[in-house]
Amino acid sequence: MKHYLSSNIRNNLVFTCLVLTGGAAHAIVINEVDYDQPGADTSEFIELYNNSDISLSLDGYRLELVNGNNGSVYRNIDLTGFALNANSYFVVCDNATLVLNCDYDFTSSAGWIQNGAPDAVALLNGSTLIDAISYEGELLPYTGGSATTLADSNSIITSLSRIPDGMDSHNALIDFQLGCITPGSTNIVGDGDCSVQSVSAVPIPAAAWLFISGLIGVLGLVRRQKS
Ligand SMILES: [Ca+2]
Ligand SMILES: [Ca+2]
Ligand SMILES: [Ca+2]
C-alpha cells in the first residue's frame, strides 16, 4: 500500500531536515517565477511562499528585479502593507484577470520581468538580501549555490518552481525545477496551466473538536446499548 504525505507535512519535513542539517531554509522565499509566456508576456507573476508556521508581515520587504547585463535594478516593488499567512502564498502580477490568486496587481505594464539571460529576482528586507534567484545563468550575488540553467519558455506554458514548495537548500540547481504554472497554489513538476483557486484552510477550534469527539463517544454508547 502506498502512503502519501500531504504537501504541508512534506514541506514541514523538508524544512525540518534542512534546519537539522544546518541549512536553515528562509522563512519567506521566492517560490515560483513565470517571466515568459508563449508569445507576448501578458501574465507574468512572482509567487512568494511563507515556509514558517506563523504569519509574517511584509512591511519593509521589496522585490528587486535585476538586469544581468550590468547588475542594475530595473524594477523595485514595495511589499509594505501586506502580510503572508503561515505556509501560504503571495502572488505579485500585472493583470489579476489573467493570473489566478494574484494578491498584488501592482502595475498595468505587461512584460515587467526580463527574459534573461541571465537576469535575477531578489527579495530584500531593508538592506538585507532574504532570497534571490538568477535564471538562465549566474548573476552574483543573486545566485544561491550553483546557478540554474533552466529557462522559462516562449512556446510552452511553464515556470521556474521550487519543488516541493519552499525547497531551500541554498542551491538553485537543486531547489528549482520547471513546473506547470500554479500561482497561489502548490508547485507541480511539468508544464501547462495547473492554476487552481486557492482555499484558505479554516482551522476547527479546539472547543469544536471536543464537542465532535464527545458526540462520537455518545453515539458509540447508544449503539452499544441498542445491540
Ligand atoms: Ca518577460
Ligand atoms: Ca514570451
Ligand atoms: Ca505555485
What does the pLDDT look like over 124-156, one tens digit per residue? 999 999 999 999 999 999 998 899 999 999 999
How far, in Å, from the CA of 164 to the mean position of ligand 3? 10
Residue 49 CA to ligand 3 centre (angstroms): 8
pTM for the model:
0.79
CA of 2 from ligand 1 middle (Å) equals 41
**CA 70, CA 208: separation in Å to the nearest integer?**
58
For residue 90, the 8-state DSSP code is E
Q: 3-class DSSP state for residue 175?
A: helix
Ligand 2 geometric centre to CA of 222 (Å): 65
Mean pLDDT of the chain: 84
Rounded to the nearest angstrom, the distance between the alpha carbon of 8 and the centre of ligand 1 is 31
Express as a percent the part of the chain with pLDDT over 70.
76
Q: Report pLDDT for 223.
A: 56
Ligand nearest to the CA of 193: 3
| Grid cell locating 169 | 537548500
What CATH number belongs to 7-202? 2.60.40.1260
Lowest mean pLDDT among 59-68, 162-171, 210-219: 210-219
Mean pLDDT of 26-47: 96
CA of 201 relative to ligand 2 center, distance in Å: 35
| AA letter at 10 | R
Tell me the pLDDT tens digit for each residue of 212-226: 444 545 455 445 555
CA atoms 20, 133, 124, 87: torsion sign: negative
Residues 6+ apart with CB under 8 A from 197: 100, 101
Q: What is the pLDDT of residue 12?
A: 43
What are the structural domain ranges in the chain? 7-202
Tell how far CA 118 is from the center of its chain. Answer: 21
Tell how far the Cα of 186 is from the centroid of ligand 1, in angstroms. Answer: 22
Could you report how far apart the first and last alpha carbons of the chain are, in Å? 34
Provide the pLDDT for residue 25. 63
From the CA of 216, how far away is ligand 2's center (Å)?
A: 56
